[in-house]
Structure 1
Amino acid sequence: TNPGNIWDYCQKGSGGRKQPENAPLPVVCISTTAGTGSEADNSGMVTNSVTKEKLGIGFQSLFPVLSIVDPELMVSVPPALTAYQGLDTFFHLAEGYLSKKANFFNEMFSITGIEKIGSYLGRAVKDGKDLEARENVAFANTLGGFVMSTGKLLSQHSLEHILSAYHPNLPHGAGLVLISRAYFGFFIERGLCAEKFVKIAKTLGFKEANEPKDFLVALEHLLQECGVADLTMNQFGIKEDELPGFAQEVRTSLPLAFDCDPIALTVKDCEEIYKRSFK
């Protein structure tokens, strides 16, 4: 219903920054994966392969008027993609919970969704036809969309989007896995969000958790259970000498998510997280 192409309406980077002149056609979402929560939010990511930018586009008018979340439509998703998508859901939930813009409303969604991921994602990865597992992971995914719509995420997603913009063969969830230990460890080492990290660890199923670093133990268990703990940047063609440039670019082109972090990450901090994630 509007002229031009989608990049004209991107509000960041080299996007055209146009506003829609006309109301869009009604959006109806039927989920066939459980990862991004698109059935419950008003935005999406667009990759510009010419400029190597991967940026979000969203307007209030793009919230779905109807969403159908049916786990029977997800049983054919292969194990690796089930893991990548489900972990994307987990990071939505965890980032929203740790965000400076967290609130009672989205924290409620986060904790419920994290409990579902901890209990059911491993099962869904191991047996894609396990409808109980698929249903609970799908529900967690929709909650992740609510978390994004009622709060904000952290810069982990921004750090990943740079990786997959330059390496489009890198699945988004896999990219998040690659940087997750170093990213959350950065805040834990600085004593930030201590109670929340313990709460997430307990909610994932590590009931004995009593200190923030137990979050990393619980995360490692989840990655192992999903069969993705040994992913490396080398597998996806990412070179170590690219990382300083990525760190510089992410702070320039995707600044908004950094405003939600427990502390403001510098370019040097981003480079440290990338380098600690490289193997």
Structure 2
Amino acid sequence: MKFNYYIPTRILFGKGMLNRLSRQELPGKKALIVTTGGTSVKKYGYLARVEEQLDKAGAEHLLFDKILPNPIKDHVMEGAALAKANGVDFVVGLGGGSAIDSAKAIAIMAANEGDYWDYISGGTGKGLTPPNDPLPVVAITTTAGTGTEADPWTVTTKTETNEKIGGGYDKTFPVLSVVDPELMLTVPKRLTAYQGFDALFHSTEGYLNCTAYVLSDLYALKAIELIGKSLAAAVADGGNLEARADVALANTLAGMVESTSGCTSEHSLAHAISAYHPQFEHGAALISVSRAYYTHWAKAGCCDERMVDMAKALGRKDAKEPMDFVAALEELMRACGVDDIRMSDYGMKREELEKYARNARETMGGLYEVDPAPLSDADALKILEESYR
């Protein structure tokens, strides 16, 4: 048994942990706070609390608050230019995955020249390694979905070409992350569900991934178990702090799955969908293809034991067949009220499904290479066809 394990992020986890930010050794003296163009971090006082903590720590700060739910390259470049112009020496990502992912990308470009797509592999990216280390990143998550506080990955869309591609490397791990479930109590029901399923699929994909090994398996199964136990409760009652903490922990563990194993082609398909339809929430896109996607693997005969393991972790303790996982998944969707997602409601058309399947392979084809068995273009199209409503 051999492996190479590396997750360098210091994580402050638990109720009230944001209040300890000022006591930490911060990685600089002047921060760019990166958040979305939405109102929640301001409305609920999270931004003010972060600014107060930075003030207490003696760190100057300025704000960049234009990030979209599906981040775009233009905003990465704009945020980086702001950081350069103001002599920023670290970046704080405050919000969900879009804000923290963007903070990582901005940190790269604040320290390097050229275009962000120069450093993206896949699609029209040039696949270059940034010559200079990115600025350090502090992640403060207000959602439980992407696990980006515990992994180096960042997903961005190049709007001109409809390419939504993930990037990142060892130096884009956050140096410090705060996971405080109190900051998640205000997330609406449907977004709580979408984000929780994103964390679930990071874990299930990581468990089926052909690069999975003993440590990623431990993180994945525990994350699946926590989501099966508490996601529906968190959706039903957003003020249930215990359920929120369980889902937050599942999310952080799912980020560790992303750091040790990784996503499979399910994420390629979902990214292709939201590259063309940015209003299609990432978690919702994943949910929309998940029944057909996991049915494909349940019937493929290449990962039967692992499918049963996931079914048991999700709560079906008597699971014996791979399709038991699909049944458990459908049960959780119903419990969370997200079994009614229709691709057509987001403007997708049945006659265009081949376009999404082609885009998935062209932009993030690397994820197909770690599937438990080869997934052909015909297979991918069939999954989309069976998912379409």
Instruction: Please report the TM-score for the alignment, with normalisation by the length of structure 1.
Output: 0.97
The answer to whether residue 280 in structure 2 is matched with residue 167 in structure 1 is no
Q: CA deviation at 1:16?
A: 3.6
Q: C-alpha distance in 2, partners of 1:210/1:60? A: 39
Q: Quick one: distance in 2 between partners of 1:52 and 1:214?
A: 36
Residue by residue, what CA displacement relative to the aligned partner does 1:136-183 show, whole Å, maximum 9, x if unpaired?
100000000100111122110001100000000000000000000000
Aligned 1:77-88 pairs, distance under 5 A: 77-88=187-198
Greater radius of gyration (CA): 2
Give the Cα–Cα distance (whole angstroms) in 2 for the partners of residues 44 and 193 of structure 1: 28
Q: Which residue of 2 aligns with 1:24?
A: 134
**2:347 is matched with which residue?**
237
The answer on whether the counterparts of 2:140 and 2:177 sit within 8 Å (CA) in structure 1 is yes
What code does the residue aligned with 1:262 have? P
Report matched runs for 1:3-18 at 5 Å.
Answer: 3-18=113-128
Deviation of 1:133 (Å): 0.6
CA-CA distance at 1:200 after TM superposition: 1.1
Q: Which runs of 5+ in 2 are unaligned?
A: 1-110
Q: Take 1:200 and 1:230, find their aligned partners in 2: how far apart are those partners? A: 23
User: What residue is the counterpart of 1:260 in the other structure?
Assistant: 370
1-side partners of 2:194 and 2:371: how far apart? 23
1:249 shift after superposition: 2.5
Partner amino acid for 1:164? S
Residue of structure 2 aligned with 1:132, choices 218, 221, 242:
242
Residue type matched to 2:153 in 1?
S
Residue 150 (structure 1) aligned to one of 244, 252, 260:
260
Superposed displacement of residue 5, structure 1: 3.6
Residue type matched to 1:266 in 2?
A: S
CA distance in 1, matches of 2:166, 2:327: 32
Letter in 1 for 2:197: L
Query: Whose relative contact order is higher, 1 or 2, with alpha carbons under 8 Å and at least 6 apart?
Result: 1
Aligned residue type for 2:269: L
What is the CA distance between 1:253 and its match in structure 2? Answer: 2.4
Instruction: Give the CA RMSD over aligned residues.
Output: 1.1
Taking the aligned partners of 1:168 and 1:9, their CA distance within structure 2 comes to 22
Residues 1:192 and 2:302 aligned together: yes
Q: Which runs of 4+ in 1 moved over 6 A?
A: none
- Name which of 46, 54, 65 aligns with 2:164: 54
CA distance in 2, matches of 1:250, 1:231: 20
2:151 aligned partner:
41
Q: Summarize deviations over 1:215-234 as a string: whole Å, max 9, x none.
A: 11100011011110011101
Higher mean displacement: 185-194 or 133-142: 185-194
Q: Deviations over 1:20-71 (max 9, x none)?
A: 2222211110111110011011111001111111001212111111011000
How much has 1:107 moved relative to structure 2?
0.1
User: Counterpart amino acid of 2:166?
Assistant: G
Q: Which residue of 2 aligns with 1:121?
A: 231
Q: Which residue of 2 aligns with 1:207?
A: 317
Whole-angstrom CA distance in 1 between matches of 2:154 and 2:349: 27
State the Cα distance separating 1:250 from its structure 2 match. Answer: 1.9
Tell me which residue corresponds to 1:111.
Answer: 221
Number of residues paired by the alignment? Answer: 279
- Opposite residue 144 of structure 1, the aligned amino acid is A
Equivalent residue, structure 1, for 2:101: none
Aligned: 1:183 with 2:293: yes
Counterpart CA distance in 1 for 2:129 and 2:121 is: 9
Identity across the alignment (%): 48
Distance 1:277 1:24, change over 3 A: same
Counterpart amino acid of residue 217 in structure 2: E
200-209 or 17-26, which deviates more? 17-26
More strand by share: 2
